[in-house]
A and B are shown apart, each in its own frame.
Chain A
């Protein structure tokens, strides 16, 4: 028994060293690019496919972060089955996943399986099962706060190892960490991001444009300092694109008055 424990302990130490020194670096085949060249350059070509990636988000940006994860999953495993594991109560907090909305975002709902877990433990368990299934392209695991099982490295390490073995890309979406006093919880993830919504590039008539994300790379092999970008997700091309810095920053302004004839436009894009 004690020998087993020692072995597990040694593996943990080894894994920590490997993470720190970026050992087991991905070969080009194994990496997927985001499509935004500046980001891909910093990532050294892209993110590792057979790995665990962690995306943090404040509560208010949950849906943006979920969108960012979904888009990454699409980049990592286009046309392949996805699994999404989420805790029950998120349906009340963030709404139920909407098949039509997924399709509109560029994810074929027919390829997505949804597992609803009673608690974080169940969600992680489903994620672990998914991580071992070679025929899955990617899996998205949603965790709120820091449940007991994620207080140490063991759970994420197991996920990361399973992903390495099976080639399934894992995304651990973590919301509600902003209350944590102790800084980010330990994790064996190959990359760690912070994702927020950002203002889209307006279409005509000031309609909201392609989904925009403000992402910060917090940790990645070879990264020396945090980097932030503003990206938009181009669904039709299936890639991210960096939003050019605006000459005049978009500032809140009052909306122009509408014609008072009460007419209703047959098509959208009339507002404002």
Chain B
């Protein structure tokens, strides 16, 4: 498939690049080509011949970005879409063509879609990627399923896309088409041009195949629906989602699996693709629950689903699945299992609505710095075990921690004693009870050996509010006056 497009309508147009200290033509539109200009010509020569030529600098990065976007759009036809650089795309349509009414109908549909997106495309359907590329680039295109070899044989030598010397040598020898080459024994070419050459021919004729590397790994579990008439109503979208979930549930059941991640792709008629992801804590194929999650997701989108002129295809893939047994494990375990399932479904719903970063659980870290001992992580993380508090002791760590610790002004009766009074957020607190210091050294791997230690105090003010304060640095080291911080609040 070959693409060119985006040129202005006004007249001959060219993209130029700087090569060997000169501006040279890089790509030309049909009008410029018709005037006899060719890529590689210097811009001054081209201007001399055609003063009305419009030019713009070539931007290979933008070309590639466009190509990537187009490849994503092409995932509506097949999940196996890859770049065929520099200017093409290759789609593996094995097993997909029937969804579009056969190969030729599919090719026509692709070309029509590209035209609708403002691009001119040339496309060929052939048994192998190289064969399709050659036919798309060097013939008028078409569907070549059985007669591919004959069609390739009629292609000019340029379809080899080999080095210039090879083309030159072959032209001198009087070869005109690929068919001329194929009629000769391959060892002749191998001897002259290297062993690669015969392989190249084999591939062009579709006798040797090679797999394309799709942009995104194709999911094993995938169902999709295509529609002749684009639709946009929310109810219609939901009913299609229900259908897809039903299909995917059957698929997962056959495989004895449950999904952990579900990806729904909405293909808009104008080429735009939107993807929605949901994740679950446990493997599931419960279509009702999943339908509820997707509804939740649709309702909570910050950037709502925009149907434009309607969707013409929806695809549901399950990129992550695990084995999942339909049967209850044991009779007495059933109730507990139900409870766990219900809770994980609650967390799934909340995660779908609020996002992974907002539905959290606590994870214990192997660190002795208070701020790193506990971390709030997405609910899908495994549970941690927590140390039991020392019996008979009041809580040694506060309920909350400030990040970063808040600076406070402190009056202490002794230089290395507990605070007697402190000011936090413009309010003075008189300390009535205090315990400490508990010395906590910073992690030298993070802060270096010179980082000052912290002396922590648990204090209670006259109103019974309990605080965790620390003194940063020590007097006896002869440093500047130590600073005080409030690190947390006790219940």
Contact = CB atoms under 8 A, between A and B. Distances in A.
A71 B434 CA distance: 23
B476 interface: yes
Interface stretch (B61-69, B231-239, B252-260, B457-465): B457-465
12 contacts: A96-B401, A96-B402, A98-B398, A101-B488, A110-B361, A115-B354, A117-B354, A255-B420, A257-B417, A258-B414, A258-B416, A268-B437
Contacts of B376: 96-97, 99, 114
Interface of A: 60-64, 66-68, 70-71, 81, 83, 91, 94-106, 108-110, 112-118, 122, 125-126, 129-130, 133-136, 196-200, 202-203, 205-212, 214, 233, 235-236, 250, 252-255, 257-258, 260, 262, 264-265, 268-272
| 4 closest Cβ pairs, A-B complex | A67-B491, A99-B374, A95-B400, A99-B362
Contacts of B455: 264
A272 B362 contact: no
Contacts of B396: 104, 268
A98 B401 contact: yes
Given A67-B399, A110-B383, A115-B350, A203 B394 contact: yes
Given A98-B399, A196-B463, A208-B394, 19 more contacts: A63-B491, A66-B399, A83-B346, A95-B403, A98-B373, A99-B376, A103-B388, A113-B379, A198-B463, A207-B394, A207-B434, A211-B491, A252-B430, A258-B416, A262-B416, A264-B455, A268-B437, A270-B437, A271-B417
B76 interface: no
Nearest to A80: B339
A97 B488 CA distance: 9
Contacts of B349: 129
B158 to A, nearest CB: 60
Nearest to B382: A110
A206 B457 CA distance: 12
Nearest to A266: B439
Contact of A99 (B373, B416, B435): B373
A254 B475 CA distance: 22
B168 interface: no
Nearest to A70: B491
Nearest to B363: A99
Given A101-B395, A104-B389, A136-B343, A96 B400 contact: yes
A271 B491 contact: no
B346 A129 contact: yes
